[in-house]
Each structure stands twice: as structure tokens, then as C-alpha cells.
Structure 1
Amino acid sequence: MTAISEHSSTSQAGLVGFYRRVIKLPEHVPFSLIQLAARVAVAHVFWQSAQSKLASWPVTLQLFANEYNLPFVDPSIAAPLATAAELTGSVLIFLGLFSRLAALMLLGIVSVIQIFVYPENWAEHLLWSSLLLLVLTRGAGVFSLDYVAARLLSTS
């Protein structure tokens, strides 16, 4: 082997090795940070939605009566139920308290919105669902009250 081909193969191995190290860097991000980011992002979506409903309750009732057209549920019942679920779910997800239950509840809301209200917004609903499914299937992570409660209860 000549000196030129040895240098070339060493250079390629160096570049390939460097590339492999760089693409593996994200694997060092703690999963709990990803869980926290997912929780904060999805909590913000539902908190903002609930706040907009509360900001103008007459408009909210009108939307539930005329635009949302939910089957089987009277708008005067659906509006406060949806608002309460969004408020409760967003706070619980944000705190990481009963987070799997909260994720399941908010997934129910997303399903209703997708099926009955805004089916054309499927990409946005898929994004919310992905974050909620992460919490549902993997939990809230170490930066959560669920984690603190589990640690306290396991030492008892």
C-alpha cells in the first residue's frame, strides 16, 4: 500500500468516525428532558385553549352550539366539560402529576376534535397525540411529581 492510499483510508476512517460520533451526540440527551419538553409543550396548547374559552364564555357556548356540532352532548354541557378537562389535563401534564391519566384524558379530547370538529387539522392533532402518547407510554420522567411520589411511596 502506498503512502497516499494509507493517508486516504486513514482520512476516510477519521471522517467516518467523526460523523458517527456527531450523529450519536443526541443520544446523550437525558430522556427525562425530552419527556419534560413534551409535557410543557402539550400543556401549553391545552392551557391556551382553555384560557381562550374562558375569556369569552358566550362565544364559547356559541361555538359549541353552532360550529363544533358534537353528537350526543348538549353544547351547554360539552363546553364546561371540555374547558374543565383542558384546564385539569394541562395542569396535571405540566406538573407531571397523574400524568398518564391526564395524557389519556387529553388524547380523548384530541380524538373528539379530530373526528367531529376539525378533521382537516390532522397533522396538528397527530403532533399533540404523539407528545401525549410519549407521556402515556413512558411516563412523565424524573422531573415530575409522579417521580417524586413514586420515590416517596417506595421508601415507605
Structure 2
Amino acid sequence: MTAISEQSSSNPAGSVGLYKRIIKLPERIPFSLIQLAARVAVAHVFWQSAQTKLASWPVTLQLFANEYNLPFVDPSIAAPLATAAELAGSVLIFLGLFSRVAALMLLGVVSVIQIFVYPESWAEHLLWASLLLLVLTRGAGPLSLDYVAERTLSTSRK
């Protein structure tokens, strides 16, 4: 019996099998945890951004007026709109409530930042957009209020 186990451990097919099993281990991570991690991470980014804006509103208005230079929108309108979108979007994404709508809204914010404000920061924006696209296309997952609402509504219709 020992000779057989020694033979299989030195056998390349045994090593390949072990390698394949190790590589497949991450597939055991529940997708719901990945969805939750994506939501929490992206919510944190936008929550922090909104908090920074609110902490010094006069500076925020100056940034929108002098640095951001958004076309077609007056800075006195753009600043509160952006702040409200970041606050509402981050809370909704975090809770997983109306998460696809929130993801779409925050994708709009990311797009404006990428196109008009900081186009050189495309890698960071792509990271945020990837997390938001995960939520938009796959939903918030079972660890969300969207899931609870869907289950509640589907049982009440029966």
C-alpha cells in the first residue's frame, strides 16, 4: 500500500490532479460573498468622496467651479447633484436596495469623472466601473435587501 501511494505522489498525473484541485479551490467561494465584497468596496469609495465634499462645502464649490470644469452644468448645480448621487448611491449599493439603479447612477458619476474631470485616472475608474458592472449585471445577491424584497414579493403573490 505504501509503494502505491509513493508511486502516485511521484506520478506526474498525481501532481497534475493535485494542482487542478488547488486551482479549483477558489470556485468554492460563494458568489454571494463576492457580490457583497464588490458592493461594500464600491460603496466605501463613493461614501468617502461624498463625506469629503460635505466636510468642506466651500472648497467643493470652488473645485467644481475652477478645477472640474464640467460642460453644460453650472457648478452650483453640479456639486450638490454629484454629492447627492454619491451619498444615495453608496447607501443603496451597500444595503443592496435598488442596487441595479444605484449601480447605473454611480456608473454615470464614474463616466463623468473619467471623461471630464480626471481622464488620466482611467485604471482607478475602470476598477470602480467593474464592481458597479458586476452589481448592474448580476444584482446585489442573496445578502441584500433586494433579495429580501424579491422573496417577500414573490411569496405574497402566490
TM-score class, shorter-chain normalisation, is over 0.9
Q: Name whichever of 123-132 and 8-17 sits farther off.
A: 8-17
Taking structure 1 as reference, are residues 27 and 8 closer, same or farther at Cα in structure 2, changes over 3 Å only? closer
- Alignment partners' CA distance in 1, 2:70 and 2:151: 42
Distance 1:80 1:12 in 2: 63
Matches within 5 A, 1:106-145: 106-145=106-145
Structure 1 gap ranges (5+) = none
Deviation at 1:13, TM superposition (A): 1.3
The two structures have a TM-score, normalised by structure 1, of 0.94
Structure 1 residue 8, shift from structure 2 partner: 7.6
Partner of 2:36 in structure 1? Answer: 36
Letter in 2 for 1:61: L
- Number of residue pairs matched? 152
Distance 1:8 1:83 in 2: 62
Q: Does 1:24 align with 2:24?
A: yes
Separation of aligned partners in 2, 1:28 and 1:151: 25
Displaced runs of 4+ in structure 1, greater than 2 A? 7-10
Cα distance, 1:49 vs structure 2: 0.1
Tell me which residue corresponds to 1:155.
Answer: 155
Q: Deviations over 1:5-50 (max 9, x none)?
A: xx48962111110000000001110001000000000000000000
How far apart are the structure 1 equivalents of 2:87 and 2:9? 60
**Which whole-Å CA distance do the structure 2 matches of 1:155 and 1:8 have between them?**
53
* Identity value in percent: 87
Separation in 2, partners of 1:85, 1:67:
20
- Alignment correspondent of 2:103: 103
CA distance in 2, matches of 1:145, 1:43: 15
Cα distance in 2 for partners of 1:132, 1:26 equals 22
After TM superposition, the score normalised by the length of structure 2 is 0.93
Unaligned regions of 5+ residues in structure 2, if any? Answer: none
